[in-house]
Amino acid sequence: MLELKNNTQRLTILPETGGAIGQWQVKEHDILHPVSNPALRRQNGVAVGGYPLLPYVNRLAAGRFSFGGEEHYLTPNMEGCPHPIHGNSWEHSWKVVHKTDTHVVLHFDHNPDVLEGAEQEAAKREWPYAYRAALSYELRADGLCVSIVVENRDKVAQPVGLGFHPFFAAAAGARLTFNAEKVWLTDAQGLPVDEAPCEGEWSFSKGQVLDGRVMDNCFAAFGGVAQLEQPGSFPNVTIEADGIFSHLVVFAQMQEGYIAVEPVTSMTDAINRPEIAGRGVHVLQPGQSCGGMMNFRVETARLAGEE
């Protein structure tokens, strides 16, 4: 475990657990709510406050996709679900390549071709292409900056998606506000089945209190800013994401004390939805890279000890 500090902020990082965040605290208040998900076996029961998603985001239907004239079949990585989820970088250790008191940079390399036999086959069934990912966490005066970049290190083009999955501590009465154009309605296994305009219960432009609501939906044409307003002494958080993060996943589990608000580049199962404009797949040629930055700003004036 690594620890970063900046004034009243403290961030712990777990390089061996997919480059995840353990805790993020401001003035000893938990901004993130560490969650242990036993279905994600490669997290080894460790509670994480947030983790990177790549080289694809959310679920990939039955682990099957076609690209570049080839069919690929990925191994499911969440127990009880036939659809692989969130790529494979969260399943592996990351290497620390730079660290200061307030900033750390991690790298992860996936290259099936350097392996042999069963190990190579297993790696290809996680993701068939070689890539390198760079992940940066930086504590700034007003909050946390997260940067993610993925580079195609294969000899052929590959489709990628990326994002970040933070579990925000949320109290009863928490209100979420953001702008988006449409929402994907899902089936019982979380795959998109229909799109709807962001109207009525799906409009968050003026904010909605999430009490009693369970959600796991992806919103398209995300405006890049989301605000989580909290009651009492709980801190408000503003999320600002670069334009590449054109989608937002909201995974609300208020009865568990958290809400995940995830800036991502694509819709769920985007690789298998070529007919959908703006689905968010980024095709990288060999040597090309893409990435973006997210800022999570905290209203420290609402925390205990300040007026």
3-state secondary structure string across 122-146: HHHCCCCCCEEEEEEEEEECCEEEE
> What's the pLDDT score for residue 302?
63
Distance between CA atoms of residues 259 and 245, nearest Å? 19
* Cα-based torsion angle of the residue sequence 100, 139, 109, 92 in order, rounded to the nearest 10 degrees: 110
Question: pLDDT tier at 301 (50, 70, 90 boundaries)?
Answer: low
Domain boundaries, the chain: 2-170+250-302
Task: List, for residues 94-148, the tens digit of each pLDDT value.
Answer: 999 999 999 999 999 999 999 999 999 999 999 999 999 999 999 999 999 999 9
What kind of fold does domain 2-170+250-302 have according to CATH? Beta-galactosidase; Chain A, domain 5 (2.70.98)
> What's the pLDDT score for residue 289?
98
The SS3 of residue 121 is helix
